[in-house]
Amino acid sequence: MGFNVNIDIGGTFTDFFAIRDGGDVRIAKTPSTHYDLSVGFMKGMQELARAYGLPASAFLSQTEAVHYCTTVGTNALIERTGPKLGLITTAGFEDTVFIGRARSWADGGGAEANKDLSRIQKPIPLVSRDMVVGIRERIDCFGKVVCPLRREDVIEKLQVLVDRGAMGFVVCLLWSFANPGHERMVKAIIEEEYPEDYLGSMPVTLSSDVSPKAGEYTRFTTAIVNAYIHGIMGEQLGHLVNELRDGGYKRPLLLVHNTGGMKKASRTRAVLTHNAGPVAGLHGSLTDGARYGQQNVIFTDMGGTSFDIGVITGGRLSTYDFIPVIDRWRTNIPAIEVKSIGAGGGSIAWVNEFLGGSLEVGPRSAGSMPGPACYDKGGQDPTVTDADLVLGYLNPDNYLGGKMLLDPDLSAQVIEKKIAKPLGIDVDEAALRIRRIVDAKMGQEVFSEVVVKGLDPRRFVLYACGGAGPTHACGFAPYVGVKRVITSPFSPVFGAFGAYTLPVRQVWEKSKAMKIFRWADQAYSEDAEGFNAVVHELKDVALRDLRLEGFSEDQVEFRLELEMRYGMQYNLTKVVSPHLTVYGPTEFKDICDRFTEQYSATYSPEATFPRGGINIECFYLTASVKSRLHEPEALPLRGPSPPDAARAGSRKAHWAGLGGPSETPVFVFEALEPGNTLTGPALVEARDTTYVIQPGWRFTLDPYRNGILEPAWAAVRPEEEEKR
């Protein structure tokens, strides 16, 4: 009986979801050890082994797959611990990265920082100006060689970078995505001059391999970011794999990608691991929502450091980030769009003296070390978790299943000192305000994220995930306007659960401009050969990589997506092509109709303008290998009243509008039975989270042990809904 283990590293905790063949599930949480992520990783594996009643070596030897959402690359960027890189580019374009975009100072700066225009700065480049050289060569926009590359010029400039201490090379030449010939020649020269058997051998990153897309600045930054984090990731992941091997694990490590899939670590580009955890969680909500026939899902994950938001429409991951920002750098990787804001259990509450003493929450976080004040690890700032503890929502003796004890006195002290006294209010009122502010911040952000896409949030179901998601769901859901909130029994480790649901998948991309409906003669293109050539090129690369993964062609499913726009329009719209290959105008018409349909749904029918011509700008080919998931059985429904065994007494908790602390019933989640219903105010304690059911809300445990939260006025039984 083999195990499938899934890990998601967060800013505060590292989450684990393990499942044995047959559906036996165990979860675990350990504090993230940022000084060495493998320490927390291996502690979690040992905890899972104990949960299954096995020695760690036996558990690892029986583990068939490890899926890993890593933050190693992101941490390297934030801490600027990457190697000294040399950048080789086309002569005359050495300052591309330093000039940046018109608003590159705003990329990744956050809303608060971007407000202070007098102090905001462009990010410090990952490659210093003295480590950039230009070589004489030129390829035009059609991929034709205008100025040939000279070997002597490359060797001369290469020696300059070596003498200045380069520990790796990034090659970004003009129009290399149209013709990568010159970039490959540069790489061949470097490898010839510094072969692998020399100590001077250094990695070479080509922009045409990492990002074969139009967009000079973003192509440069994508290649640089990938090269910057590549070495550190390789070193740390190699160390982790060695520890797993020594422990008895015999299979490859699979890394989760921000494209909504995963691959072997050895076949993964480093830049694709950014933000993988939230993307995995989004896919988990898609998989779980399918059990309810939900096509439209809002995914939220409130952890210790951040609050993640994702939107699913039409029952699939279809929303890509237009230009993803990694740390402070705009890139053009094909990443699924998941937005993160600084609002989590560890978000710090503070009084903003510059705004007249207003109370703010986040974006700074206490992290895992020292963490909230109540952790008693030296934290001196009040956090959302401290406020929840003071309000009576959290049990100080049963946090994380009793593995961690909380000190409510420390929470009260820091809230009184830094919030209550400066504002002239008591501690309870300060804690209520902290909670209201963070709930409003999250709820309004979710509402904006849905509405800006032209969608109606009332037509969506909301997943409240993360360790603090069930604790705050009733607080932020009213701002969104949804009528139903789903909280999974795996909410505290939902990113890890989502990693389990992901297929082996990769996205290959290539920029290629094609006019498939011409405005001049109002006719559809006949260039089927040009279209199919791009698809076949991408398909060949995909099959080559997947064969190296051990899969045959008949196991692979392909999906073609196209970035399209009306002629002369700037914004691009991504659509799923109805055809993988085309034969003439008939298929091009189908593609144009699909584009018009998608554009109309996004921007309204009045905005469509096919007469202006329709262009394809970029091809995306997704290759997937479906995974076999264990489908949980629906449990029989019991009576609406919870059993006496589920009642765990009561404690005083503060509820807005009830005039002070009220004695509130407390229930044990694991003792509840499907069909049990609770009406707020009530508290439900699970091993790794607490469900806070506010007055006016109803909580129902469904047959899959998902907790369904509904406003009392909107809570309708499924059978009543069918009658309606």
| CB 473, CB 464: distance < 8 Å | yes
Mean pLDDT over 511-516 rounds to 92
94 DSSP 8-state letter: T
Task: Give the range among 25-29, 116-120, 165-169, 191-195 with minimum mean pLDDT.
Answer: 116-120
216-247 vs 37-51: helix axis angle to the nearest 10?
50
> Residue 708 contacts by C-beta under 8 Å, 6 or more apart in sequence?
484, 485, 486, 487, 699, 700, 701, 702
* Segments making up each domain of the chain, as ranges: 3-76+241-272, 82-233, 504-625, 644-723
pLDDT given at position 713: 66
With cut-offs at 50, 70 and 90, classify the pLDDT of residue 719.
very low
| CB 308, CB 278: distance < 8 Å | yes
The C-alpha atoms of residue 200 and residue 264 are separated, in whole angstroms, by 28
Helix ranges restricted to H, 52-180: 56-61, 72-79, 96-99, 110-115, 151-163
Fold of 3-76+241-272: Nucleotidyltransferase; domain 5 (3.30.420)
Does an H or E element contain 576, and which? Answer: strand 573-576
What would the two tokens of residue 37 be? 């992520």
Provide the β-strand partners of residue 254: 67, 264
Sign of CA dihedral 689, 289, 295, 678: negative
What would the two tokens of residue 16 be? 């684990």
Q: Does 105 score more than 50 pLDDT?
A: yes
| CB 340, CB 275: distance < 8 Å | yes
> Residue 136 contacts by C-beta under 8 Å, 6 or more apart in sequence?
91, 147, 149, 150, 153
Mean pLDDT over 73-97 rounds to 88
The whole-chain average pLDDT of the chain stands at 89
Mean pLDDT over 311-333 rounds to 81
Q: Does 549 score more than 90 pLDDT?
A: no
> Residue 455 contacts by C-beta under 8 Å, 6 or more apart in sequence?
296, 311, 313
pLDDT given at position 721: 42
Task: Give the range among 194-198, 285-289, 398-402, 484-488 with minimum mean pLDDT.
Answer: 194-198
- Structure-model confidence comparison of residues 628 and 384, the more confident one: 384
Mean pLDDT over 261-274 rounds to 86
- Structure-model confidence comparison of residues 168 and 452, the more confident one: 168
The C-alpha atoms of residue 650 and residue 422 are separated, in whole angstroms, by 33
Helix ranges restricted to H, 312-394: 384-390
- Structure-model confidence comparison of residues 105 and 616, the more confident one: 616
- Looking at domain 82-233, its CATH class is alpha beta
Q: Does 308 score more than 50 pLDDT?
A: yes
At 203-238, the pLDDT tens digits run 899 999 998 988 889 999 999 999 999 888 888 888
Report how far apart, in Å, the C-alpha atoms of 531 and of each of 537, 593, 596 are: 10, 17, 19
> In 21-103, where do the E strands start and end?
24-31, 63-69, 86-90
Q: What percent of the chain has pLDDT over 70?
A: 96
At 360-376, the pLDDT tens digits run 998 888 876 788 999 99
User: Residue 405's closest CA among 376, 385, 436, 446?
Assistant: 376
* DSSP assignments along 480-545, one per residue: HT-S-EEE-TTGGGHHHHHHHHPPEEEEEEEEEEEEEEETTTTEE---HHHHHHHHHHHHHHHHHH
Q: The whole model's pTM is what?
A: 0.88
At 455-503, the pLDDT tens digits run 889 999 999 999 899 999 999 999 999 999 999 999 999 999 999 999 8
197 DSSP 8-state letter: T
Mean pLDDT over 339-349 rounds to 88
User: Residue 235's closest CA among 81, 118, 120?
Assistant: 81
Report how far apart, in Å, the C-alpha atoms of 186 and of each of 177, 192, 215 are: 15, 10, 21
The C-alpha atoms of residue 329 and residue 73 are separated, in whole angstroms, by 13
Q: Does 314 score more than 90 pLDDT?
A: no
Residue with tokens 């002597």: 152
With cut-offs at 50, 70 and 90, classify the pLDDT of residue 724.
very low
With cut-offs at 50, 70 and 90, classify the pLDDT of residue 714.
low
Sign of CA dihedral 489, 493, 499, 500: negative
Provide the β-strand partners of residue 399: 404
659 DSSP 8-state letter: S
pLDDT given at position 497: 94
With cut-offs at 50, 70 and 90, classify the pLDDT of residue 723.
very low
Pairing label, strands 138-139, 307-312:
unpaired
Q: What percent of the chain has pLDDT over 90?
A: 57
Most trustworthy range by pLDDT among 12-26, 453-467, 583-597, 642-656:
583-597
pLDDT given at position 110: 67
At 109-166, the pLDDT tens digits run 766 666 777 777 788 889 999 999 999 999 998 899 999 999 999 999 999 999 999 9
- Structure-model confidence comparison of residues 234 and 658, the more confident one: 234
With cut-offs at 50, 70 and 90, classify the pLDDT of residue 665.
very high
pLDDT given at position 363: 84
Task: Give the range among 13-17, 374-378, 551-555, 648-652 with minimum mean pLDDT.
Answer: 551-555
| CB 633, CB 547: distance < 8 Å | no
Q: Does 397 score more than 80 pLDDT?
A: yes
